[in-house]
Amino acid sequence: MTQAESMSAMSKEMQDCVAACMECHSVCEETMSSCMQMGGQAQMQIMRALIDCADMTRMCADMMMRRSPLSAEMCATCARACEMCAEACMSMPDDPQMMRCAQACRRCAETCRAMAGMAM
């Protein structure tokens, strides 16, 4: 990547992906707080997925914003973490926060998969 390329404006697709990652990160953090209030051993698997997803989405957004040459690989991994988190959240379909999180995770996974398929 040349310096001119790294300084150019982000594409609309990349901006959308960064926004989806940051939204997903935020919702995962909120959902972690909700899970901690609920307690219970069953929540541990969900908590692990939420932590992984929150960390991955934040790192992925950061890497895209700084035009890391590893962004495409990171987006692919981030999409996987988001899908795993969405599945974990879906294990509690009666909880509105979990469903909100699953939706944000799926949206993020979709944008990350699209970015992983593009040359960045």
Q: How far apart are CA 89 and CA 74, in angstroms?
A: 22
Indicate if the pLDDT at residue 6 is higher than 60: no
Condensed to tens digits (0 to 9), the pLDDT of residues 27-66 reads 999 999 988 887 765 578 899 999 999 999 999 999 999 9
CB contact burial 71-86 (16+ within 10 A = b; e otherwise): bbebbeebbbbbbbbb
Task: Answer whether 15's CB lies under 8 Å from 23's CB.
Answer: no
User: What is the pTM for the complete model shown?
Assistant: 0.86
Around Cβ 47, how many Cβ atoms within 10 Å? 14
Quote the strand ranges of 1-120, DSSP E.
none
